[in-house]
Copies of this chain bind each other. A is one copy, B any other.
Amino acid sequence: MNQPTIYAVIMAGGVGSRFWPQSRERSPKQVLEIVGSGSMISNTIARIQPLVPPEKVLVVTNKLQKEIIHQQIPSVPMQNILTEPIGRNTAPCIGLAAKWIRRTDPDAVMIILPADHIIRDTEEFLNVLRRAVHTAQESDALVTIGIKPTHPETGYGYIQYEDSSEKNPFAAEGIYRVKTFAEKPNLETAEKFLKCGDFLWNSGMFIWKASIILNEIEKHIPELGDQLNKLEPAIGTENYQTALERVYGVIRSISIDYGVMEKASKVFVAIGDFGWSDVGSWDEVVRLTPIDGDGNALRGTVIAKDSHGNYIDAGSKVVATIGLEDVIVVVTDDAVLICKKGRSQDVKEVVDYLRRKQINGLL
C-alpha cells in the first residue's frame, strides 16, 4: 500500500486574551514566546517537520494575524496561510482546510493541531502521530489524541475509551475506540475520572483523511456541509474571497467535537504521554518555567530583593521588587499585569473590562 500524503493543519485563530498584556488581537498567544524560546506556532511547525514538510502545512488564521504568522514561519508558502473572515469554532475551520487539501490530494491524511500547545517529548509525539496516521489511513477512522492525565485538571474536557480488547483492533498501536466525550468537569468529577484510569484529556488534536471528515461533516452538520460544497468551486478562483465571506456569514459557530466526534461511529483515540500542555494561563506558564534558588522565574532585567516564588517578565523595562511573594508580573511597553499566583484565570476579565471601556490600544 502507498504511503499516504500527510498534511498538517495548524489552527491559529485564537486571540489568546488570557495572556494579556503580552497577547493582543494582533499578537495572540500562538505568535508569542510564552515558554522557552521560539514562538508557539513556529515551534509547532518545527516539531512536526519530520512528518510534514512546510509546503504541506496549512495554517488557518484571520486577517489581523496573517502577516505576523507569515513572518514567523517563512518556510510555509504564503498561499498555505488561509484566513477566516470570522472565527466560527473548529468545525468550519477544519472543513475549510479539508476542502483545500482534498482538492489537491483526495487520499491525503490531515493532522490537525492547535498552534499554541507545548510538547516536551517530540519523539514520542511523532511516534503517536505516525500510528494515528496509519490507523486513519487503514480504517478510514476519525482519530483524536487523548493525553494521559497527570492530575485532576478541571480546565480540560475528557475522553473515555473502551478497554475491552475485542473492540480495539488498534490496541497494539495504543489506539482505542472512544466510549464517550466529557465536558470540563468539576474537581470531584475530575478526581473520579483520574481514578477510573480510562479517561484521557481531550487535546484538540485530530488525524483523519480529508475526504472522510468532509463526509462526516455532511452527515452530522449538513448545513455546514452544504455551505462548504457551495464554496468548493470558488477555491483557487477570483471569486473565492467573496464566496468565503458569504459562507462565513451564514454558518453557525460549532466545534468539531460537538458537531462530529460525539456523533460519528468510527472514532478512536491515540493515547499520548509526551509532556503536553495547552498553556492556558499565566499560572500554567509559571508551572512550566524553571525557577531559581529563591523560587523565582525571572525574564529580562529584574532586581528581586527578598522576593520569593514570583514569575516576573520585565519585557524591555527594569523591574525591581522588594519583599514580593508569589506574584506574576508581566511588563510590556504600555501595560503591567500584577497577578497573585493562582488567580490568572481572571486576566480574561481584565481584557473584557478593557473591551467594555473601549481601551482599544491595549487589546
Interface residues of A (CB under 8 A from B): 20-21, 301, 303, 305-306, 314, 317-325, 327, 329, 331, 334-340, 342-344, 346-347, 349-350, 353-354, 359, 362
Contacts and interface: CB of A to CB of B under 8 A. Distances in A.
Contacts of A349: 305
A334 B317 contact: yes
B318 A353 contact: no
Contacts of A303: 350, 353-354
A213 B5 CA distance: 95
Contact of A320 (B320, B324, B336, B342): B336
Main secondary structure of the interface of A (DSSP, over half): strand
Contact of A350 (B20, B305, B343, B362): B305
Contacts of A306: 343, 346
A343 B323 contact: yes
Contacts of A320: 20-21, 335-339, 347, 350
15 contacts: A21-B318, A301-B359, A303-B353, A303-B354, A306-B343, A318-B354, A320-B335, A320-B338, A320-B347, A321-B338, A321-B339, A322-B337, A324-B338, A324-B339, A336-B336
Contacts of A334: 317-318
A359 B301 CA distance: 11
A119 B283 CA distance: 45
Contacts of A324: 327, 338-340
A350 B323 CA distance: 12
Contacts of A335: 317-320
Given A303-B350, A305-B346, A346-B305, A322 B340 contact: yes
A331 B336 contact: yes
A344 B322 contact: yes
Centre residue among A21, A323, A342, A359 by max chain B CB count within 10 A = A323
A323 B336 contact: no
A271 B334 CA distance: 48
A66 to B, nearest CB: 27
A304 B148 CA distance: 38
A349 B337 CA distance: 24
A73 B323 CA distance: 38
A336 B322 contact: no
A336 B350 contact: no
Nearest to A330: B320
The list of the 7 closest CB pairs from A to B, nearest first, reads A323-B340, A322-B339, A323-B343, A320-B350, A318-B335, A319-B336, A321-B338
